[in-house]
Structure 1
Amino acid sequence: MNEIFYVKLSHLFLEWVQWSAWTICSTTCGGGTRKSSRKCPQGAGFCSGTFTKTESCNTQRCASDWGEWSEWSRCSATCGGGEMTSFRRCRPATGLCNGNSRKTEICNVQNCSPEWDQWSTWSSCSATCGGGKRTSSRRCRTTGGGGGGLCSGNAKKTETCNLQLCPSGNYPHNVFTSAASNSLTVSRRSHKHPMAG
């Protein structure tokens, strides 16, 4: 009698209460999860198995749609024709939308006004003394990244440099070049000693 009682009592302790209804799916589309739970009348230690279970739900692909277009970006050029862009996002991010997420439009198509770059640094002087020349140049360009133009003024300027006199040679005789023969001729002056007769 006692043995039968204990068997039945032990059997009662191992019985779980029925599983609860499934919880609401964590997402409405694109794949989510839901849970169900059960209780052991005498506590979880007296029943064999787990007290919760999980399964996937709403695995169908979400219906996707585009969000609003963003504000236009700043034009890539202030004149001469540039581009500006706008973007939009597909919602939800896991969805698949038809069409493009980016669009481009031409902007600032008016002609650019040409202007000069800064003058370059002066070149080396053509002579170290006695007067030489050096030059500086600049380039005509258009602002805003547009096409070329025609600037008013000169692209090159010249000035004199190293105007100081060259040091003269201290020679005991005269040296000159004959332009006719293109040959170097040296002449010496003879000096008479005052004591000579």
Structure 2
Amino acid sequence: MALTAVATDIITTKHHVSVHVLFVADTAGTIRKLSVVPRSRQTCLLEVLQPFAAPTTILTMRLLSEAGSLYLGTDSALVRVPVQRCERYRSETSCLGAMDPYCGWDASGLDERHCDADGRCSPANWTGLGWGDWSPWSECSVPCGGGVQTKSRTCDGDSAACLGPSRVEQECNVQRCKGDWSCWSEWSACSVSCGVGRRRRDRECRATAAAGSADVICDGAATSEEPCEMTSCTSLEGWNQWSVWSLCDARGEQHRARHCMVSEPGGELCQGEDRQARLCVDTGDAE
């Protein structure tokens, strides 16, 4: 990842005349704190700082030794970050093992003590400065359809040293929810009155209880089609339209009729029956 800014500091320690400390920022806004020990010229990674909840480009970075702070300039804010966070080390082993030139351990014999800048021991109830670590991301608020998860951090000391948000959120489980198909509808009428046509039926993708009101998706097609065959168009030549179905008669039947429009039927004219009957239905008249 490319670098955007570098700041340096020189610290005088107990064991070395001077230790060079480098603060290196990348394009995501992450700052790596490195130390260079003069005798070995070895570079060590001391700490990775993430002052922003989301990737943010640091345009400028300046270190003020007197204030013990880095000042970060972005396109929308100026942020102060302490150069030392010795309060993170709660034991002598962790404090000395970190090899942070800003921190030392006070061996004064107090029952409870903390690693502090310049090796000073602070009271057990001292909370330090700056933000604590971010909590893990919470569970997503929904299993699908787009929810929210959060993480938070607490200010360990003076609120003036805690710049930025204490809680952030991000989208999660943005994939569409799975739904359930309804039953298929009845087949539609054939698309033609004679010959071969098409008919179709439909079904609806419906949300499940888990999906709630979220937009859902179902596997498979919502529409099905198949061919349908009606009376040959040639056989209809010469006939007029069928009449509407009659009312039900005493035998529970309906009838309809058609008439041949030519004076001399024959050949391909007026083929088929001129009357039809069916059992009564309650759907009303039909063609």
Q: Say whether the fold is shared (TM-score over 0.5).
A: no
Higher strand proportion, which one? 2
TM-score, normalised via structure 2 length = 0.26
Higher relative contact order (CA 8 A, sep 6+): 1
TM-score, normalised via structure 1 length = 0.35
